[in-house]
């Protein structure tokens, strides 16, 4: 499968994969680590892709974990699927795990909007998810209960996305061209729009290039996948947060300029087995700074659970 980066160093850090879903669509994934190790699914952020993970070959080998990061429909090598919902993508990921012969319980992680996809994965497939980590996560914008907790800004953004879909489609198409033609100028422009806590991390050499390449990959297919992801985010989620049963850790920074940390205790209160880790003075990109601690925590959450749960249950609750 082709890869946007031609770097031989990058090729050594991850393995691009493609699987066929039951309806014939292609789903692109990126594997980090050895396929012999315990699987953890990582759901990428909005407008990004599976390439947003920091290099961690030695750490993953030490922890005996592999990360499988699927690209949502219309992102990277994944075919466009205009009927995207949170449950539909959870089903896609379950089918991809089956295709890779991974039938036992997995860990699930998600950054930003990917956190909502991680919740959907855990809610729809409770017997196949052993642990969850939500990294700077958001709330589902289209859920009436959660909507009451949104800031005025997020309510306005949802109104614009649902009320003027043609304008948003045009915007994402324009952005896709900017990422394809002027990736360095575009990432620098986004960094300037961020708050200081995010700028301090994103502007660092290595992280800047990582997020740039992930966005170029994310805006493939003329930005179609980003638009469909936004539409799914704004509709009713199609799953219940209360159906998440796996141990869950919510990582969030008190200086998050994208999603205020005040919503996190509320979200945690709706998950039966949740803990909150608020990191002082850290922003939305905290996963980049705390990657080793996050992966180490996932290993602890998974330890002793992979043999306690049934390995081949495919029951759906969505």
**Per-residue three-class SS string for 47-67:** CCCHHHCCCCHHHHHHHCEEE
3-state SS class at 71? coil
Q: What phi and psi, each to the nearest 5 degrees, are found at residue 185?
A: -65, -35
Q: What is the pLDDT of residues 30-81, one digit of tens each?
A: 999 999 999 999 999 999 999 999 989 999 999 999 999 999 999 999 999 9
The model's pTM is: 0.92
Helix (DSSP H) and strand (DSSP E) numbers for the chain: 14, 8
pLDDT at position 204, please? 87
Tokens of 143: 């859920």
- Residue of 181, 285, 175 whose CA lies nearest to 230: 175
Tokens of 149: 């907790």
Confidence of residue 314 (pLDDT cuts 50, 70, 90): very low
Check whether 6 has a pLDDT greater than 50.
no
Region 278-286: mean pLDDT is 96
Q: What phi and psi, each to the nearest 5 degrees, are found at residue 280?
A: -60, 135
| 291 dihedral zone (left: phi>0; alpha: psi -120 to 50; beta) | alpha
Check whether 10 has a pLDDT greater than 60.
no
| Fold of the 8-302 domain | Rossmann fold (3.40.50)
Q: What is the pLDDT of residues 197-218, one digit of tens each?
A: 999 999 888 999 999 999 999 9
Tokens of 87: 């449950």
Per domain, the residue ranges of the chain are 8-302
Region 141-152: mean pLDDT is 95
Check whether 150 has a pLDDT greater than 50.
yes
**Half-sphere exposure of residue 175: CA atoms within 13 angstroms, side-chain side:** 23
Task: Identify whether the C-beta of residue 59 lies closer than 8 Å to the C-beta of residue 295.
Answer: yes
Instruction: Report the share of the chain in percent with pLDDT over 70.
Output: 92
Q: What is the pLDDT of residues 68-119, one digit of tens each?
A: 999 999 999 999 998 999 999 999 999 999 999 999 999 999 999 999 999 9
What is the per-residue burial (b if ≥16 Cβ within 10 Å, else e) of 284-299? bbbbbbbbeebbebbb
Check whether 2 has a pLDDT greater than 70.
no
Region 231-239: mean pLDDT is 97
pLDDT at position 317, please? 58
Question: What are the beta bridge partners of residue 134?
Answer: 110, 250
d(C-alpha 33, C-alpha 65), whole Å: 7
Confidence of residue 190 (pLDDT cuts 50, 70, 90): very high
3-state SS class at 187? helix
User: Tokens 């998050």 correspond to what residue?
Assistant: 256
Task: Identify whether the C-beta of residue 1 lies closer than 8 Å to the C-beta of residue 79.
Answer: no
């Amino acid at each position: 499968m082709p890869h946007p980066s031609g770097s031989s160093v990058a090729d050594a850090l991850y393995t691009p994969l493609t699987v066929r879903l039951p309806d014939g669509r292609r789903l692109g994934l990126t594997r980090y680590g050895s396929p012999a190790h315990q699987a953890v699914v990582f759901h990428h952020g909005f407008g990004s892709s599976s390439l947003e993970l920091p290099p961690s070959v030695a750490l993953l080998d030490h922890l005996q974990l592999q990360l499988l990061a699927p690209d949502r429909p219309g992102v990277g090598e994944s075919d466009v699927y205009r009927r995207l919902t949170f449950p539909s993508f959870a089903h896609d990921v379950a089918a991809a795990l089956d295709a890779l012969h991974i039938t036992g319980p997995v860990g699930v992680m998600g950054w930003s909007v990917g956190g909502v996809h991680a919740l959907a994965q855990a809610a729809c497939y409770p017997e196949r998810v052993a642990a969850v980590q939500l990294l700077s996560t958001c709330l589902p914008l289209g859920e009436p209960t959660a909507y009451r907790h949104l800031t005025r800004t997020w309510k306005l953004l949802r109104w614009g996305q649902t009320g003027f879909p043609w304008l948003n489609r045009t915007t994402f198409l324009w952005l896709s061209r900017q990422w394809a033609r002027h990736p360095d100028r575009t990432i620098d422009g986004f960094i300037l729009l961020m708050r200081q806590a995010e700028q301090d991390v994103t502007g660092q050499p290595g992280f800047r290039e990582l997020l740039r390449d992930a966005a170029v990959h994310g805006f493939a297919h003329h930005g179609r996948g980003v638009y469909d992801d936004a539409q799914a985010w704004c509709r009713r989620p199609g799953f219940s947060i209360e159906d998440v049963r796996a141990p869950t850790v919510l990582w969030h920074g008190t200086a998050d300029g994208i999603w205020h940390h005040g919503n996190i205790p509320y979200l945690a209160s709706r998950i039966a087995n949740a803990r909150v880790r608020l990191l002082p003075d850290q922003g939305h990109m905290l996963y980049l700074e705390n990657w080793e601690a996050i992966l180490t925590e996932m290993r602890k959450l998974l330890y002793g659970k992979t043999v306690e749960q049934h390995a081949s249950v495919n029951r759906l609750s969505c």
